[in-house]
Amino acid sequence: MNHPAELPPEIMQQRPRWRLAATVRRGLLALAVLAQTLIATYFMLSVLPYHGGNLVEASMALVFSLLFAWISVGFWIGLIGFCLRRFGGDPRSLLRQQDEATLRGTPLGRTAVVMPIYHEPVGRSLQGLKSVILSLQRTGKLADFDFFILSDSRDPDVWLAEQAAWHALREELGLEDQLFYRRRPLNLNYKSGNIGDFLRRWGKAYDYMVVLDADSLMAGETLVRMVQLMQRHPQVGILQSSPSLLNGRSLFARLQQFSNQLYGPLFTTGLAAIQLGHAAFWGHNAILRVRPFMQHCGLRKLPGWGLFKGPVLSHDFAEAAYMGRAGLEVWLEPELAQSYEESPPTLSDELTRDRRWAKGNLQHLWLMLFSRRLKLAHRMAFLNGIMGYVASPLWFTFLVLTTIEVARLILWPINYFPEQNQLFPLWPEWHPQRAVWMVSITLTLLFLPKFLAIADVLLRGRRKAFGGGIKLFCSVLLEMLISALLAPIRMLSHCRYVLEALFNVNLRWAGQNRSGETSWLAAVLNQGIGSLMALAWAGFAWWLDPMFFVWSLPVALPLVLAAPIFVLLSKVSWGEGLMRKRWLQIPEEASGSSLLDDLETPSNLLTAEQQPAFNEAIVHPQTNRLQTRLAHAPRAQRQQSELQLLAQRCLQDGPAALSSAERNLLASDARSLQWLHTQVWQADPQSRWGQILARRIRTT
């Protein structure tokens, strides 16, 4: 790997050009957002009765300006993306810095494809990896890639199933020397610690590392293209693809993937055009240059207090910033197609993920303010991530201030002479026309990019990919309606998560739910307090003024109905019903996808076991031999005697009598597994293990 200062002359000549373009683009974006926000804030002040002349109104104007600027940035990025796509793409993008023939003729470097997993559905995760491998096989470049499953799972029924499925997949594909499994004994520092453990052991053997999530899918051609781009551009440290959502079954997941695939290309194109070589890293579906990543992207624990002390939870943005600080480039390339992930199946699962992300993103405030020599673009990326969650408390604050303002005007007599020795009265003024204009402008900023996305699809002749013109338009209206219902629910949940993060509430690290619907009980328990708060606020608004009550309904009504919304959006039957009618359709459902075909192909090797994996590891002869071979060698004599006592209790009382930690100990010890297997096959048919063995034989 060349140091950036030692790059070839032709590369050095290219770098100032994109940097100049980035400076100009970012400057124009900042001017547009600033001008738009100043004008909007002026209109907002003119709408307020005292034009910001008291503390409440001044606070309202300040909060409004912050929220409007946040919305304005998204609007302009979407508009830039639309314009670039209409002109054939961004000429400054990494993909367009060489011709197709040159890129295709570029040899590949040695690449590791790593998939960190933690209590994920085993069959889905490994079937997805199998789809990636088969797609790479079709390119003829499979020999240049190795694959690593990096497990942090603690539950023995999970990691034993992972090991059995990995072994079956390795034998099925004939990849004994290319597909590896590693479960580290201590899962320190979450996902980044898992990646770090891999790099310390095997990093020096590879030029590049592709990181996949448990639900990731990437076409072989895309992986090959990413490696070729890294080979052609030695100054690039990270190349991030733009994953699309797919394979959704519930109504919520289908809404998410439809909006992602319809609106996403505009926003990612615009974002990539603004960031250029200072892009962010999203933690997966990306390729990293291993040596500089190992050298510069180690994450030290935060040295502050509370929230800002301990391991960095959201590591990806920080790693991109550190790579940029080292002089390397980070690119987002929207035109790298066939890069996918899955949406959380329910709103509840999305909000659970957001709870973890909120704390991680707020930690970035420390890095943004106190890390030295970071690029301004990466500091702005930190700020963007922080605002993704702080915007909700700001919106909530704006609603509170609005309620105070209305209550003050209605319940307290108007003081026309607030200053001592004031000669002339201060008259409150109302300008309802300007208020209507303000609402119209805000709605335009929010929704115009969505209609530009429709125009982009129609102008490209891709309406059939989204179900046809009429169904595309109806699907967009449905998505906009449900998005409006979900906005207040997300707002209140994010307010809670920000408060929890500020008070440094500990989070439990858990695998994500990839399936399952939300029950009524869970929805009511999750949203009951918020619904009661919204009901009380709406009642207070009605008591103050019926018009204020009407104004409050778009926020209050979704919160009151949050539990039914949670349940109904989680319904798989509703999502599949709309899929059959080609509503919320995405291109892969219209034209097919070999990745999806491989993912959905039944595989006997990766189906769920007939019984818990711990039982299977003891009962089934072949599985027992495999797990024994993968387990620890015999322990020291003292440890072995303790394990023998534990194994005897397991034999006598059955696996249900042991805790997860105790079953972990037995499953990790080769001698214990062998001894239990022998004893179980000699057990009394009426004993607990005898009955387990009988059931397993009947299902074979």
Q: Which tens digit of pLDDT belongs to each residue from 240-275?
A: 999 999 999 999 999 999 999 999 999 999 999 999
For 414, phi then psi, to 5°, come to -75, 130
pLDDT at 507: 65
pLDDT tens sequence across 398-445: 999 999 988 888 887 666 555 666 555 555 566 667 777 888 888 899
Give the single-character DSSP code of 177.
T
Give residue 5's pLDDT: 39
User: Which has the closest alpha carbon to 243: 223, 230, 260?
Assistant: 260
Put residue 612 in one of left, alpha, beta given phi > 0 → left and psi -120 to 50 → alpha.
beta
pLDDT of residue 426: 59
Q: Contact at 8 Å (CB) between 253 and 343?
A: yes
The answer to whether the CB of 600 falls within 8 A of the CB of 521 is: no
Given this model, what pLDDT does residue 17 score? 79
Please state the pTM of the whole predicted model: 0.89
- Looking at residue 4, the DSSP 8-state letter turns out to be G
- The segments of the chain whose pLDDT lies below 70 read 1-16, 413-432, 507-515, 604-610, 634-638, 700
Instruction: Return the closest-CA partner of residue 209 out of 297, 96, 340, 335.
Output: 297
What confidence score (pLDDT) does residue 496 get? Answer: 94
Q: How far apart are CA 316 and CA 211, in angstroms?
A: 11
Structure tokens at 607: 């189906």
Q: What is the pLDDT of residue 604?
A: 62
Amino acid making up residue 314:
S
> In this structure, what token pair is assigned to residue 339?
């890069």
**SS (HEC) of 573-584:** HHHHHHHHCCCC
**By the 8 A CB rule, do 80 and 22 touch?**
no
- The strand pairing partners of 244, in sequence order, are 340
Task: Please tell me the predicted confidence (pLDDT) of residue 76.
Answer: 97
Query: Is the C-alpha dihedral spanning 371, 376, 379, 383 positive or negative?
Result: positive
Q: 250 near 569, Cβ under 8 Å?
A: yes
The DSSP 8-state label assigned to residue 110 in this structure reads P
